[in-house]
Structure 1
């Protein structure tokens, strides 16, 4: 069992492994996007440009499946950012792990003597993992999405947005509130559980040594598929929630 280094700053606990990984994920997402649009060409598009055009078309069609076509454009950038960032974050923990050993107490990183005693006097510290394997990251993403959904609902569709809490009958108001509260919970837990479980399984396979190499290769390939599916699900559910909040019932 690896220890996760935690930096305490003024009572705020920062998971260093997650902080490093999420910073790298942001940089990779930005760099990929910039490389794809660096030398745009109609006659001779680069492979990166073709890739990003495919992503744009895919996300456009995904959003169009949740709301009227004329409403898609304002949310296209959001959809592209979400699906690329989450997909890259899902994959970051797959290629390698950065683990060091320590036998000394480090209060700054929240490594106590009790932790060392549990691991026979020395412990392994994990400095790298997928950002989305941390519930605080997926919960933060889900919270941002839900706050944005409510804001857009009140700004663009206030009358119908408020009315839906009392449909089909006013007595359903408590149930509709519970439904809205469950949205960030399900968004966060679905993404976190799938990515975290995948990383736990990879760690278990690694314990088999060289005999686990075939299983590791197979699971790595499957994990890419899972990462893509989870990025797609988070993005399309976000668009469904936005559509429900901003589109009049008669427009569906």
Structure 2
């Protein structure tokens, strides 16, 4: 059976909706008594690929590029640095591009694992970003990083960012500001999860109905969508860090 027919055969179940997908989750093995689901296994594989790529790239670096591989790596790093610099300036981009670039590459590769014709339907394999637990973990890490960078930059004065408006309104505005800050990771995780899971469900449903007519076109759309979602997550994370580390300008 061809890979596309295998994908189409499995597509009917995936098109059933989020509830059906969650029921399909299962434990691959236990580690120190803790269950490890297939999305975590896939995430570890993606992380291993990125680490291996980074090691290979670092070993072949020269002052002047001598091969296309180093040229491509330098182009990608420059592109990520330029993207972050446009958001928070060159000085802070030097500090935060490694973190934000890692976010982008990890999410991008995780998104693209769902486009493989056979592996996404193996019992040990699941696109990580199609699980809310994974996207939620990434968003929580972003939230913690934002607060840590804000505190490191401003000290305890960082909490002044929650004191907006006249003092007599603080009992109302401070809780709202805190709720807004807590909503940010929720919106990050939900946006990424919903788009990737929705794309997986649509792709599987269409492949089940017309396995020979739509794969190329739908997969092209999913390639673009996976890139855009990784870019949006990275951009919003950069904006949150930029806001947390910016200088405050309160009127007195």
TM over 0.5, shorter chain: yes
More displaced stretch, 196-205 vs 29-38:
29-38
Aligned equivalent of 2:227: 228
1:38-117 matches, within 5 Å, as 38-98=59-119
CA distance in 2, matches of 1:215, 1:45: 41
Among candidates 116, 132, 137, match of residue 135 of structure 1: 132
Q: How many residues align?
A: 223
Please say which of residues 222-231 and 30-39 is displaced more in the overlay: 30-39
Distance in 1 separating the partners of 2:120 and 2:130: 17
Structure 2 counterpart of 1:195: 196
Aligned 8 A contact 1:55 1:80 in 2: no
Name the stretch that deviates more: 169-178 or 131-140: 169-178
| Separation in 2, partners of 1:157, 1:214 | 57
2:48 is the alignment partner of 1:27: yes
The CA distance in 2 between the partners of 1:203 and 1:175, in whole Å, is: 41
* Residue 13 (structure 1) shift: 3.8
2:174 equivalent in structure 1: 173
Structure 1 CA distance, aligned partners of 2:245 and 2:212? Answer: 49
Pick which of 25-34 and 179-188 moved more.
25-34
Task: Quote the offset at 1:44 in angstroms.
Answer: 4.1
Pairing 1:150-169 to 2, within 5 Å after superposition: 150-169=147-166
Give the TM-score taking structure 2 as reference length: 0.80
Distance 2:195 2:73 in 1: 26
CA contact (8 A) 2:130 2:194 kept: yes
TM-fit CA distance, 1:215: 1.1
Report the TM-score when normalising by structure 1.
0.80
Post-superposition offset of 1:11: 7.4
In 2, the alpha carbon distance for the partners of 1:196 and 1:61 equals 30
Residue 72 of structure 1: SS of its match in structure 2? helix
Per the alignment, in what secondary structure is the counterpart of residue 193 of structure 1?
Answer: helix
Give the whole-Å Cα distance in 2 for the aligned partners of 1:47 and 1:82: 24
Aligned to 2:243: 244
Q: Any stretches of 5+ residues in structure 1 without a counterpart? A: 101-124
The answer as to whether partners of 1:33 and 1:52 remain within 8 angstroms in 2 is no
RMSD of aligned residue pairs (Cα, Å): 2.2
Q: Structure 2 vs 1, CA of residues 8 and 23 (structure 1 numbering), >3 Å: closer, same or farther?
A: closer
Q: Secondary structure at the match of 1:127?
A: coil
Cα displacement (A) at 1:43: 4.0
Distance of 2:120 and 2:71 partners within structure 1:
37
Answer 1 or 2: higher relative contact order, Cα 8 Å, separation at least 6. Answer: 2
Q: Name stretches of at least 5 consecutive residues in structure 2 with no aligned partner.
A: 1-12, 15-23
Judged with a 3 Å threshold, the aligned counterparts in structure 2 of structure 1 residues 44 and 13 are, in CA distance, closer, same or farther, namely closer
Kindly tell me: are residues 33 and 197 of structure 1, through their superposed partners in 2, closer, same or farther at Cα, counting changes over 3 Å?
A: same
CA apart distance, 1:12: 4.2
